[in-house]
Structures are given as C-alpha cells and as structure tokens.
C-alpha cells in the first residue's frame, strides 16, 4: 500500500514537469484551436516563416478563429507559422501550384511573384505607419498592388507588418560616416542590394538563420531590420545600438491562390476576405503599439537609439531616387517601369 501511495505521489509530481517539458517542445502550444476543425467543408493552409509573438504573424491565428466563427465552421484556416511548410521560396512555389492556399509572405519574398509587390521595399516610399495606412486604404495605390500577381494565379488580400526598418549595430551609428565602417547584413533581395549600392555602404547578403553566429563572430557588425524583430530575437544582446532609419515598413503580404479562392461559394468568399481585411487592419494598429513597446523595452535593456540628421536623410533619399532603374538590376529596372515613380508621387502628395 505504501509503495502504491508513493508511486501516485511520484506520478503527481512528474506530470506537471512532463506537461511543462511538452509545452517547451511545442512553441505553438498556446495557439492551438479551441474547436474541432474536422467538420470544415474547406481548408485553407496558410504559411508564414516567423513566430506569432510578432503581432503581424499572430494575425494568422486571429484570422483562423474569426473565419471559423463567421462562416459557422465551414472554412478552417490551417495556419502554419515558424517555417513548418519550408522556406519562403519553396512555399511560394507550392502556393502557385495550389498545394498551399495562402501565405503571409515577407514583402522581400513577395517581389518574386510580381515585380510591383517589391515597391513597398523601395526606400522612403511606404516608410511610416501613417503612409502604410494611406497606401492600404487608397484604391488608386492599393488596387494595382493587390491585382499585380493575378496573372501568376495569386491574389493579394492584405498586409500586416513588423515595424520600420533601421540599423542594429555593434558600434554607435549616429551619421553616415559611422555607417561606412559597418558591414550590414541585408536580405536576399535585389532591391535591398541596389539600395545599399546606391548608399555606398558595405553589406553582406545572408540568410536569416546564419545571422546569430555571424553577428557573434563579427562577420557582420550590423543588421538591416526592425526593432520588433531585433529585440524579440535577442539580437540586441550583441548589437547594442539602433539607428532609426525608418526607410521602409517590414511587411507580411497576404497571398492567396486564386483558383482556391474562386472555388469558394460567393458568400463564403466575401466573408473570408472581409475577415482578412478586418483582422489585418486591427493588426496594423497592434503593430504600432508593439513597436513602441519594443523600443521602450530595448532602451530599458541598455540599447542606445540614434537618428540621422535631416540633411543626411535627404541625401539617402536622393541617392536611392537617382539610382532607381539605373543600377543594372533587372528587378529594379522592372520596378521603375511598374509604377514605382507614380507610387512615389502619390505617396508624397499633400493630403
């Protein structure tokens, strides 16, 4: 009897530890659906490479739950963040084929679907939260963007984000001269490459998984990224300075396979797109707050923030505008012929 009681006691103490270990092994345990999706008539597999602790990524789960509620369980959004379905290039191929029906794609990767989608990565066009809202809500700006990939079988439903881009560096960068001594890691995109060439800055094109070791070993001494991502992923543990360049908004572009979308009954399609629009708009508001919160947390942790002078910012803008379409990059040349100039004018006209 004593042995039996002792066994129960051991099991009782062990179960919480086992549950805790299971939660640690599954970083998405807290986001599991609170309903049984097996009865759904339609399944929408939605991919993303990042972690839902970022508001722009968590939007996928909010869309999942709201779509389930508003369609009375007829559509299940099977959301797969954290690269569960592979890297962005692989998922884009699956999206076009219809093996994956949706993707919250980084705007950098989305440019591989249609050139016009790369416009949002060009420096100082859609560079602030206010301009992002204006871009999304102005049909003259948004409609050509949303319809630009239809010929590739892809519809652009909406955008969420992860904040404005800047420089996280291991040395203080308060001016362009100091930036000249930094080796910046940039994303694998021609637009980014052209921008840094136009600015005359040293850079290394590098996949994101290689960044931690490269930063620790000094292979790179700066990151072209956002405060939200740098703070959440602990990059500020090494790069203790951040220059608020604010040249572009980090975006997730919601891409949908057009064939799958068109197969939905009209009422479900309308509700589905309405939910995506509502949740994406709410998420853009939440991202503003998350950016402010992460800046405050980074400052509390000892990260020093810098801003370039108005004169130096003007010089950066001048260089990238002059370089558009003249850098020898096919992507930049096509972009200049796909509405970049008009978008610039519309985004910068008086409100």
What is the domain-level CATH number for residue 233?
3.40.190.170
How many domains does one find in the chain? 1
What range does the domain containing 329 cover? Answer: 29-345
Residue 13 domain flag: no
The answer to whether residues 110 and 117 touch, using CB atoms and an 8 Å cutoff, is yes
H-type alpha helices, 223-265: 227-232, 258-263
* Dihedrals phi, psi of 325, to nearest 5 degrees: 80, 0
Alpha carbons 248 and 124: distance in angstroms, whole number: 6
The answer to whether residues 46 and 253 touch, using CB atoms and an 8 Å cutoff, is no
The answer to whether residues 349 and 138 touch, using CB atoms and an 8 Å cutoff, is no
The answer to whether residues 222 and 202 touch, using CB atoms and an 8 Å cutoff, is no
The answer to whether residues 258 and 154 touch, using CB atoms and an 8 Å cutoff, is yes
Q: In the prediction, which pLDDT does 35 show? A: 97
Q: In the prediction, which pLDDT does 115 show? A: 86
Give Cβ neighbours of residue 325 (< 8 Å, ≥ 6 apart). 332, 333, 335, 336, 337, 340
> What pTM was estimated for this model as a whole?
0.87
User: What is the distance of C-alpha 164 from the center of its chain?
Assistant: 11
**Residue spans of the chain under pLDDT 70:** 1-24, 323-351
Residue 20 domain flag: no
Nearest to 166 by CA among 127, 201, 198: 127
pLDDT in tens, 51-62: 999 999 999 999
Residue 14 domain flag: no
Q: In the prediction, which pLDDT does 92 show? A: 95
Residue 124 to residues 128, 233, 272, 317, 318: CA-CA distances in angstroms? 8, 26, 32, 7, 10
Q: In the prediction, which pLDDT does 209 show? A: 86
pLDDT in tens, 243-272: 999 999 999 999 999 999 999 999 999 999
Tokens at 217, concatenated: 């070993």
Nearest to 33 by CA among 6, 60, 71: 60
Q: In the prediction, which pLDDT does 191 show? A: 83
Task: Indicate the pairing of strand 241-243 with strand 154-169.
Answer: antiparallel
Q: Please list, residue by residue across 62-95, b when 16 or more beta carbons sit within 10 angstroms of its beta carbon and e when fewer do.
A: bbbbbbbebbebbbbbbbbbebebeebeebbebb
Alpha carbons 43 and 64: distance in angstroms, whole number: 10
Residue 1 domain flag: no
Residue 18 domain flag: no
* Dihedrals phi, psi of 130, to nearest 5 degrees: -65, -40
Q: In the prediction, which pLDDT does 226 show? A: 97
Nearest to 327 by CA among 108, 110, 109, 123: 123
Alpha carbons 16 and 111: distance in angstroms, whole number: 46
Alpha carbons 249 and 254: distance in angstroms, whole number: 15
The answer to whether residues 215 and 254 touch, using CB atoms and an 8 Å cutoff, is no
Tell me how crowded residue 138 is: count the other CB atoms within 10 A of its CB. Answer: 12
234 phi-psi bin (left φ>0, alpha ψ -120 to 50, beta other): left
Residue 215 domain flag: yes
Residue 220 domain flag: yes
**DSSP secondary structure, 74-134, as one string:** SEEEEEE-TTTT--HHHHHHHHHHTSS-EEEEEHHHHTTT-GGGGGGGSTTTS-SHHHHHH
Q: In the prediction, which pLDDT does 207 show? A: 87
Tokens at 21, concatenated: 């270990």
Residue 5 domain flag: no
Tokens at 253, concatenated: 């572009």
Q: In the prediction, which pLDDT does 324 show? A: 59
Nearest to 263 by CA among 38, 36, 44: 44
Q: In the prediction, which pLDDT does 20 show? A: 45
């Amino acid at each position: 009897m004593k042995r039996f009681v002792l066994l129960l006691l051991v099991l009782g103490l062990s179960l919480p530890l086992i549950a805790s270990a299971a939660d640690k092994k599954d970083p998405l345990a807290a986001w599991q659906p609170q309903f049984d999706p097996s009865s759904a008539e339609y399944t929408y597999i939605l991919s993303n490479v990042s972690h839902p602790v970022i508001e722009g990524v968590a939007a996928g789960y909010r869309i999942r739950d709201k779509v389930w509620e508003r369609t009375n369980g007829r559509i299940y959004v099977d959301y797969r963040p954290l690269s569960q379905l592979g890297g962005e290039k692989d998922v884009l191929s699956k999206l076009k084929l219809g093996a994956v029906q949706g993707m919250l794609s980084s705007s950098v990767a989305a440019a591989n679907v249609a050139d016009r989608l790369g416009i949002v990565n060009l420096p100082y066009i859609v560079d602030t939260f206010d301009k992002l809202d204006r871009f999304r809500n102005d049909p003259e700006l948004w409609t050509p963007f949303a319809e630009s990939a239809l010929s590739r079988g892809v519809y652009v439903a909406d955008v969420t984000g992860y904040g404005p881009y800047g420089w996280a560096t291991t040395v203080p960068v308060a001016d362009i001269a100091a930036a000249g001594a930094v080796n910046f890691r940039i994303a694998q995109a021609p637009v980014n490459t052209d921008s840094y060439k136009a600015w005359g800055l040293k850079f290394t094109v590098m996949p994101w998984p290689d960044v931690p070791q490269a930063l620790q070993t000094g292979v790179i001494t700066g990151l072209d990224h956002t405060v939200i991502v740098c703070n959440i992923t602990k990059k500020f543990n090494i790069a203790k300075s951040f220059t608020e360049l604010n040249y572009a908004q980090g975006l997730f572009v919601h891409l949908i396979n057009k064939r799958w979308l068109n197969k939905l009954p009209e009422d479900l399609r309308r509700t589905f797109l309405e939910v995506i629009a509502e949740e994406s708009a709410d998420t853009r508001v939440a991202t503003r707050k998350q950016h402010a919160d992460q800046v405050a947390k980074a400052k509390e942790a000892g990260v020093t923030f810098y801003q370039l002078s108005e004169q130096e910012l003007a010089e950066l803008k001048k260089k990238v505008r002059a370089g558009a379409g003249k850098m020898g990059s096919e992507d930049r040349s096509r972009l200049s012929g796909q509405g970049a100039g008009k978008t610039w004018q519309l985004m910068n006209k008086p409100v």
